[in-house]
Amino acid sequence: MVLSFAIIDVSGAYLSQRQLINIGEAAISTAAHNVDLNRYYSGERVQADAGGNAPTYLLPIDCSAAAQTLETELASVQLHGAPISVAHFACDGDVLHTTITAQIAPMLALPLLPGSAMNRLLTIKATVSASNVIGG
């Protein structure tokens, strides 16, 4: 029976991580749409690919606005009733990277073993990145 609880908890943690990845991808994609207009209109762009008919470039990102948007997007959602926090955020001007976390309760708690490790909060972590590619 304990093995069944463990399998259910591992499966629940995996599904929760997948949900956190989906939430993170949606939030970071929205954050990546904060364009650094000064760099964009000055023509300062990083080439992403030279294949095809024309080169493609990375759209310059306003890092401070992107960080604020990411925080706002994540503040509006929860993972199984738990808040989602940003553990790490990096922006190099063209690509965003973030690691987000949430602490959730296990899928099944063991009422007979209240101090058990199976009853402790699980920390779920996801790392996601985003950029915007534009044609030249």
Residue spans per domain, the chain: 2-135
User: What phi and psi values does residue 4 have, to the nearest 5 degrees?
Assistant: -65, -45
| pLDDT higher than threshold 70 for residue 46 | yes
Q: What is the pLDDT of residues 86-95, one digit of tens each?
A: 999 999 999 9
Q: What is the pTM of this model?
A: 0.82
What CA–CA distance (Å, rounded) separates 36 from 13? Answer: 37
Q: What DSSP designation does 126 have?
A: E
Q: What is the pLDDT of residues 101-114, one digit of tens each?
A: 999 987 666 555 55
| pLDDT higher than threshold 70 for residue 44 | yes
CA distance to 13, 58, 130, 135, per residue, from 46 (Å)? 38, 6, 15, 12
Q: What is the pLDDT of residues 4-17, one digit of tens each?
A: 655 666 777 889 99
